[in-house]
Structures are given as structure tokens and as C-alpha cells.
Chain A
Amino acid sequence: AQSVTQPDIHITVSEGASLELRCNYSYGATPYLFWYVQSPGQGLQLLLKYFSGDTLVQGIKGFEAEFKRSQSSFNLRKPSVHWSDAAEYFCAVGARNYGQNFVFGPGTRLSVLP
């Protein structure tokens, strides 16, 4: 069965500092991988996705993520965090066949100090 773990429940960084959010997945083959961001009371906004090809993918708002097959990881990074990045971040895996229901991780809450 598919599963996603996000080891860090809550991370606090200072504005301007770099950020890395961890994501590990369990899946029988190479899945589709996604990172979503959710502000309080809001829906999910797609930051970036990995389907195939280059393992370093660029997303919106200056985020990037690297797919490492050997480690079953898809960590999210940003070189310099802005106060507006404070939100909940979810990693998700999706099947490559029809019916792309996603399995989400539990989320990592990011707080940004001024």
C-alpha cells in the first residue's frame, strides 16, 4: 500500500534562512510526486510535481524539490524563506495508472520568524 511520511510536524525558520521539508514515500513503483501548500482555512495549492525526467524540479514561489529513488524521498527546498511562506505543506503520491487518487502525508507546519 502507498504511504507518505513527513517526519517533521512543525518547523520554525527565520525569514531569509534556507528551508528543507522532508518527505518519504512507500510505493511499489515510481509514483507521481507532488508538494502542496495550504494556508489556514484554505484549499490546497500545487507547488510542484515530479512525473519523470530530471529529478530536480522547480515550482512556484521559488520552491524546488529533488526526487531520490534510492532513498524514496522527495524533499522540498527553498533557499530563502519569506514570511508569507508560513503555511502547512503536504507531500503526496499518486498512482501512474488511471484513477489518480492521491495519498497525502500528515503535513509539516512551517512558521517563519521575522
Chain B
Amino acid sequence: DAGVTQSPTHLIKTRGQQVTLRCSPKSGHDTVSWYQQALGQGPQFIFQYYEEEERQRGNFPDRFSGHQFPNYSSELNVNALWLGDSALYLCASSLNSEQYFGPGTRLTVT
């Protein structure tokens, strides 16, 4: 059983560009959450998707948006990238109350 997978592993973008990160949840999991982890900090909750809708959102600007597909996979989109968006982006899937995390996508904005 594959766990949570994320793509790409690493990404380098320029300020002002847009980026899309992808996540495939663990088999049978219907909820996907996204977190941003800046260097040296704990993960910060961005938003959560369930039944293809955004169910909860953290304190992130509208530049951060997402989508969940019928197969429960998800995308995180960030528009107008800032230098401060450089971070490890983690996806987590859950079925009940336990979240399983993917390896993350390392985004560098130059």
C-alpha cells in the first residue's frame, strides 16, 4: 500500500511566478490537508479538502488555493510567488483522526 505521495520533490521558481504542487493520498483516505513548513519551524496549516471542497483554511492569503479531484488527489496552487513562500510543502491525508504525511515538496523562490 503506497503512502502519501507528492510531486515534484524539488522546485525552483522566480518571484511573481505561479506554482502547482500535487498530492496523492493514502489509499482509502478521503481528506487532504496542506501545510507549509519554513526552515527551522513547525508546519503551518494552509487548508484542508474533503469531498472536493475546502473545509477549513488557515491564515494564508488568497494567493494560496487548492483543488481536490474525485479520486481524492489534490493540488496546491500558489500565485505571485514571494521569496517568503520558500518552504517545504507537506501534504497529509486522513480518514478519521490520524494524519499521514507525504515526503513534501521543497519550493525555492529566487
Contacts and interface: CB of A to CB of B under 8 A. Distances in A.
A4 B45 CA distance: 13
Chief secondary structure at chain B's binding surface? strand
A19 interface: no
Interface in B13-54: 31, 33, 35, 40-45, 48, 50
Interface stretch (A54-62, A74-82, A95-103): A95-103
Interface centre among A45, A90, A100, by most chain B C-beta atoms within 10 angstroms, is A100
B94 A100 contact: yes
Interface centre among B43, B94, B100, by most chain A C-beta atoms within 10 angstroms, is B43
Given A43-B104, A51-B97, A101 B45 contact: yes
Interface of A: 4, 32, 36, 41-46, 49, 51, 90, 92, 94, 96, 98-107
